[in-house]
Amino acid sequence: SMLSQIKDIVESIHGNFQIDAQYYNKDTSIGAPIVPQKVLSNGFGNINYIRGNFSAGLRYESYNPVMQGFDPRYQVSGIPERYARYKTSKIDITAGNFYDQFGSGMILRVYEERGLLYDNTIDGFRAIYNPYKGITVKGLIGHQRTFFSLSPGVVRAGDVDVSINELFDSLLTQMKTKITIGGSFVSKYQASQSPTLNEPENVGCGGGRVTVTRGGFYAYGEYAY
């Protein structure tokens, strides 16, 4: 039985990489900047390891230097992101880098757009808990990425999402109308750098949302303050 349990554990290693490079010629007719290196490149590689409920991974990025048209602060090579994660049907815990979004993203949207070299991943801790069917609770804390360093501001956030039909499934399972409600709160602490201005160091934002679906009809509303 022990051997069968070991065989049932899913284990895999996967990843991807990409290199974009351009060769530059002198072109004074359009006022193009002269590139003494001739060739500039943006490159990255991801590797992820999964074993059962556990996963871990890292990203390597290299700019030699960064191609024209991108922010010149991308000028180094290294491992700016790494994570370890443990996930079950009830709990999901991540230490390191992660992406997330609350509702439509009005008060929290952590994402990357690789083609634009935009990446505001959070480096810290996140916990997701499903105490009952239809309820998801999230909590996170960390610093957002800024190029190859971290923002000085500490982001702290929580989110609750409730599927009314799943929560009261004995009463509402047969209902054609599906209702989901949610609420979020995000705050950021950043020490004031001004000796003269009274800058707020803790800034918070809260929001609520509701989704209603029925057949082909879908309505969504969100309010943030």
DSSP code string of 32-81: PPP-TTSEEEEEEEEEEEEETTEEEEEEEEEESSPPTTS-TT---EEEEE
Farthest CA pair distance, the chain: 75
CB neighbours of 29 closer than 8 A, spacing ≥ 6?
Answer: none
Structure tokens at 112: 């990357």
Say yes or no to pLDDT of 5 above 60.
no
Under a CB-based contact definition with an 8 Å cutoff, are residues 207 and 103 in contact? yes
Say yes or no to pLDDT of 137 above 60.
yes
Structure tokens at 64: 């030699």
Average per-residue pLDDT in the chain? 91
Q: How many CB atoms lie within 10 A of CB 109?
A: 13
Predicted TM-score (pTM) of the model is 0.86
Bridge partners (DSSP) listed for residue 210: 181, 221
**Per-residue pLDDT reduced to its tens digit, 20-31:** 999 999 888 888
Give the burial class of 179: count Cβ atoms within 10 A of its Cβ; 0-12 exposed, 13-18 middle, 19 or more buried. Answer: middle
The DSSP symbol for 99 reads: -
**Per-residue pLDDT reduced to its tens digit, 68-97:** 989 988 888 999 999 999 999 999 999 999
**Per-residue pLDDT reduced to its tens digit, 168-203:** 776 666 788 899 999 999 999 999 888 899 889 999
Across 107-127, average pLDDT: 95
Q: Which residue has the higher pLDDT, 155 or 168?
A: 155
Which residue from 124, 184, 116, 186 is spatially nearest to 151, judged by alpha carbons?
A: 124
**Per-residue pLDDT reduced to its tens digit, 9-19:** 668 999 999 99
Under a CB-based contact definition with an 8 Å cutoff, are residues 48 and 81 in contact? no
CA distance 187 to 102: 13
